[in-house]
Amino acid sequence: MIYLFGFFVSLSFTFLFWKVGERYKIYDQANDDPLKIHTKSVSCLGGLAMFLAITVTYLLDYRLLPIIVAGLFIFLLGFIDDLRWRDKARIKKIYKFAYLIIFSLISTKILLMAGFSINFIPIFVVIEILTFASIFILINAINYQDGMDGLAGGVIIISLIGFIVLGDILIAPTLIAIILGFLVFNFPPAKIFMGDSGAYFLGFVLAVLTMIYLKPYDFFGLLGIIFILGLPFFDGVYTNLRRLTKGNSIFSGDREHFFDRLLQKGYSVKKVLFICYSIQAVFVIIGLLILK
């Protein structure tokens, strides 16, 4: 069964790259960084483990090949960030913004050639813009949630359950199995992080699912899918608006995300996870009710 296969492949790769990260000190360094809540260095190769697990599993069905090819560019952008930019050589924000645009555009073109797009307004130029926007927004939205052990993976699983209810029986359940294999080592206290590479790729797959289930001129469908995307989407939009209104770059890190505020109120990490998972579940239920 493909789902069980995906889980064990992910579990194996995650364990392997946890050990590789420990052996060669490929870490997300703590270094008393005020933007990080972990106090010790942790392997940041979880994204590589998940991407390889997804690739091995998705290649069992040729229909999923375009997702792997297009997603490779998004993954590579995050992986370069994990290995080169993180803690070693901070790249200028304008360059990172440019790279995000370029790599998202490349992935957009590949998906369009493969028949995946946001066809909400069926005019080619608009389709291109919306397809690009969905990728750009969601990869960053998921990356914002990757600031606490177990959070990003958990809320994505809840969104994926929503897409399963809508009828997806391949992409979403397989990805759930792979994320679960990763969460065995990422649930607090985490032994490995997904890094930007994992967050970007998972956000990318959510964008693909959005492309599949959003129909032309279906405003209620758009609203329903936004709720299924849930907490990452709403927190991401709020974060960008907050930063822009303060005159800051959207890439200027801070500790003002929703989960940060809960932690600052004194809630434990596991209580924050429970609250965020619960809110995400409510959002997904609302989305499904709108769509049904």
pLDDT at 95: 81
pLDDT at 208: 98
> Could you identify the residue written with the tokens 């005159």?
247
pLDDT at 36: 64
**Are the CB atoms for 141 and 228 separated by under 8 Å?**
no
Buried-state track 159-179, b at ≥16 Cβ within 10 A, e below 16: bbbbbebbebeebbbbbbbbb
Structure token pair of residue 55: 């690739």
pLDDT at 252: 73
How far apart CA 165 and CA 147 sit, in angstroms, is 28
Contacts with 149 (C-beta within 8 Å, 6 or more apart), sequence order: 38, 186, 187, 188, 189, 190, 269
pLDDT at 141: 96
Enumerate the β-bridge partners of residue 28: 42
How far apart CA 196 and CA 75 sit, in angstroms, is 8
Per residue of the chain (292 residues), what is the pLDDT tens digit? Answer: 799 999 999 999 999 999 999 998 888 766 655 566 666 789 999 999 999 999 999 988 888 999 999 999 999 999 998 887 554 445 667 788 899 999 999 999 999 999 999 999 999 999 999 999 999 999 999 999 998 999 999 999 999 999 999 999 999 999 999 999 999 999 999 999 999 999 999 999 999 999 999 999 999 999 999 999 999 999 999 988 888 888 777 777 778 889 999 999 999 999 999 999 999 999 999 999 999 8
pLDDT at 151: 97
pLDDT at 247: 75
pLDDT at 62: 85
